[in-house]
Amino acid sequence: MRYLLVGWTRRTSFATAKALLARGHEVFVSDTVNNEEKQALLREISHPRLFGLLGRQEKEIIQEIRPDVVLPSPGVPLTIPLVQEAKKHGIEVYGDIELFYRLHPEVYYYGITGTDGKTTTTTLAHALISAYKPALVGGNIGLAIFEHDAAVSNIKEMVLELSSFQLEEIVHFRPRIAAFLNLAEDHLDRYPDMNAYLEAKKRIFMNQTADDIAIVNADSPYFDHIIEGVKSRILTFSRKKKATIFFQDGGVYYEDKLLVRQDDLLLKGVHNIENVMAASLVALSAGVPRESLQETLRNFRGLEHRLELVTVYNGVEIYNDSKATTVNALQKALESFDKPIVLIAGGLDKGLDFTLVRDLIHEKAKAVLLIGEAKDKIDTAWQFPHTIKLSSLEEAVNQALQIAKSGDVVLFSPGCASFDMFKNYEERGKSFKTLISLAIK
């Protein structure tokens, strides 16, 4: 068969290309960029059935090479003319998750999606399951899914973090246990409205049957819309009311029995209670015994850049929450503290509504330091009197440490994407931690 990969990166299409070539297929690679980095990836594989179309993504490629399948990378919108041309000619279009599923239908897949908390929940669910039985983890985190191409010959369970972009590209993919964590404004630069974004996320359930399990946040304002039409058995988690697994009086309860107390967890933040409940429900549904699960929960430290305690300096707690790229994530971070907050926020706007946390800012913040492209929009939305707009993260760190007193919290929770000033949220978070260490020396 002849495959056309649209988007050429090491993160996804590189491993996919190698897997297809190993199975005897022809692989063509299209990318809008033609630079040394992408050429080097082609040379690294150096295969007679691998053909580069770097610097090209026009729709005429379809007639030129007549592929059997078009495989867009998740970052490639399905609305581009090349993909639309393929569909017009009846050519199959799907992503690497779907391809992997077709090649390995015998694997038992767990899928986790949502606006916020996907990575922590996926990592924790994998930790809970793999402490009891072998399991792989991938998708939108860690290794590209085709890096596991050989491993699934021995390990038949896989936990996947799935973005809305990846879910747009599935056709038959069926996770036996699927969790939809939450939904809040995000990617409105790609989706026309919230309903379109919700429908993309909801595709995680579309191929499930009555033998499968759907895990849904009972507190979500979109709950009824999310479960509408779902054919699998629905289990729920909640911070506010009774559910299959729920939070009450400082403890997480499963089927009305205490599973773990919040004080016994190393994870900080109200949002992590939701992540713990969702991951636990995935693992319990997968057959992990309660006792095994409890030990792993108590020892799980969380992930870097997610409400990560950097240090305590002169009585001031300093947190790195660079992964907070949405208003919803910022809200959860603010709700996690009962101490005065010196907040550093801002970055690249994704078309989000910052007024949603205005009341919370006025309730929780001692001072707000804004940086990045979105700082004026945020300032207008919040109208917070103790706001300072700055030109760099370094300036914001220095100001925050001057303002904060013992008993306060310095919280770096941008509520925005990082790309106006940094390569990604990881680089942004590492920069914040470096600036803190330099400032307090």
Beta strands in 387-438 (DSSP E): 387-389, 409-412
CA distance 127 to 129: 6
Cα(429)–Cα(433) distance, integer angstroms: 6
Is the Cα dihedral 92, 93, 98, 100 positive or negative? positive
Half-sphere exposure of 182 (CA within 13 A, CB side): 23
Crossing angle of helices 96-103 and 13-22, rounded to 10°: 30
- Beta strand 245-248 with 251-254 is antiparallel
Cα–Cα nearest to 306, from 433, 172, 148, 158: 433
Among 18, 38, 118, 148, the active-site one is: 118
Give the active site residue among 18, 38, 148, 187.
187
Could you say which DSSP state residue 417 is in? Answer: B
- Sheet of strand 341-345: strand arrangement: 308-313, 316-320, 409-412, 341-345, 365-370, 387-389
**151: burial class by Cβ within 10 Å (0-12, 13-18, 19+)?**
middle
- Give the type of residue at 38: K
| Residue 140 falls in the annotated catalytic set | yes
Instruction: Measure the CA angle with vertex 421, ends 418 and 422; round to 5°.
Output: 60
Query: Catalytic pick from 18, 38, 126, 140?
Result: 140
Tell me if residue 305 is catalytic. no
Catalytic (active site) residue 172:
no
> Which is it for strands 213-217 and 245-248: parallel, antiparallel or unpaired?
unpaired
Q: What is the dihedral of CA 63, 68, 71, 76, to 10 degrees?
A: 20
Q: Give the Cα separation of 45 and 66 in Å (integer).
A: 23
Q: Where in the sequence numbering do the catalytic residues fall? A: 118, 140, 187
